[in-house]
Amino acid sequence: MPFARPALGQEEIDAVADTIRSGWITLGPKTKRFEQEFARYLGVPEAVALSSGTAGLHLAFAALGLGPGDEVIVPTYTFASTAISVMHVGATPVLVDVDPRTLTLTAETARAAITPRTKAIVPVHIAGTACDMDPLLDLARRHDLKVVEDAAHALPTRYDGRLIGTLGDITVFSFYATKTLATGDGGMLVADDAALRKKIRVLSLHGMDADAWGRYGKGGTWRYDVTAPGFKYNMTDLAAAIGIEQLRKLDAHTARRTEIAEAFTRGLVDLPGLALPVAGPRATHAWHLYLVRFDATRCGFTRDQAHERLRENGIGTSVHFIPLHQFSLFRKTAPGPFPVADLAFSEVLSLPIYPGMSAEDVAWVIEAIRSLWNA
C-alpha cells in the first residue's frame, strides 16, 4: 500500500484529453477558469494559479518587497521551501519552535523572535489543521507585520468557521501529487489586496503586463510591456484542467479522508504510547496527513522501528518533517534550542490516507499497527 495516491478518475483523463485537443496547453482558458472557480470556492475576489506552492511563497515575499536585512519568522517544523523562499529574496528566515500538540506556529513562539528587522510571519498549517490564527493576526497587527500563510496542507480547512485563504495578507496553497487537491505540480495564491495581486500576477510571468491568453486569445493584442524582473511561475492549462475536476470533488474527497481518519482513531485510540492527531484550537481538519507519534519509552519500540515493520508488511509511511534547523543549510544560523520540534521529529509517522483507500485497506493498516505491540 503506498503512503499516498492521487484520487484521479476518468473525469480528469477526459479533461486533459479535451485540453490537448483544443491546441491550448499552456496558460490559457482552463487556467483562467480554474482561478475563477477556486476563488469562488474560497469566497475571495481573485486567485492566481501558479506552477507550485513554492513559487507562490517566493512571489509573496518578492511582491512584499522583502530583501537583505529583513527577517521573516518561520516555524522550524515545516518543509524546506517555506524558509528557502525567504532566502531567495535575500531576506533571513528566523526559525522558531512550535506548539507541542499541533506542531504549528504560535503567537508565543513568534513573539519572542520579533526584532526591529522583522517584516513578516509565516504561519504553516500542518497536516490539515490550522494554526491558532487570531493571536498571530493580532501580534502581526501590533507590530505592523505581514502574514503569509503556508497552506500547502490546509485545503479545505476552516478556522473559526472561515476557510483558510480568507485570513492573512497572502495565502499559498499547493497542488502537489499527495495533496488534497492534486494536479501533479501546481499551486494557488490568494491575497486580500488588489494591487498586491496585480503585482504578483505580473511577477509570475516574466514581469509582463499581459499573459499569453491576453495576447493571443480572442480580442487580444500581441503588444505588451515588461514592467518588473519577473519569473516563469505560471500554471499550464494541462494542470488546470485536472485542477478544475479535482476542485469539484474536493468536498467528497475530504469527507472520505475524514471517514478514514475517524476509523484510524477508533482503531488505534487504546494503544499505549501512541499519540493520535487532533485539530487545532477553533479549527477543522482536512486530513491531508494522519500524523501519529510513537513514544518509545511507552511503546517499547521507536518510530524508525515502526516504520520498518510497517514497510515489511507492505504499508508505506512517511515522516513529516525533518525540522529545518537539523539541515546543514540552517544549522549554523539557527542554534535553537527547539525542544518541541526535536522531540516531534523523533516520534512522528504519517500513515497512508487517500480517498481511494477501501475499508479493507483501512483495516489492514489498523491491524498492522496494532500488531507492533505484540511483536
* Candidate list 30, 146, 179, 199, residue with the active-site label: 179
Residue 32 is a catalytic residue: no
146-150 vs 170-174, strand pairing mode: parallel
Q: Which amino acid type is present at position 314?
A: G
In 3D, which of 226, 244, 154, 233 has the Cα closest to residue 200? 233
Q: How far apart are CA 340 and CA 1, in angstroms?
A: 31
Q: How many CB atoms lie within 10 A of CB 357?
A: 20
Q: How far apart are CA 369 and CA 307, in angstroms?
A: 10
Q: How far apart are CA 180 and CA 257, in angstroms?
A: 9
C-alpha cell of residue 25: 496547453
In 3D, which of 339, 345, 255 has the Cα closest to residue 291? 345
Q: How far apart are CA 50 and CA 205, in angstroms?
A: 10
C-alpha cell of residue 79: 518543509
Q: How far apart are CA 281 and CA 102, in angstroms?
A: 9
C-alpha cell of residue 14: 477526459
Helical ranges in the chain per DSSP H: 10-22, 29-42, 53-63, 80-88, 107-111, 133-143, 194-203, 212-216, 237-268, 296-299, 303-312, 328-331, 339-347, 359-371
Distance of CA 177 to the CA centre of its chain: 12
Distance of CA 26 to the CA centre of its chain: 24
Q: Residues with catalytic annotation? A: 179
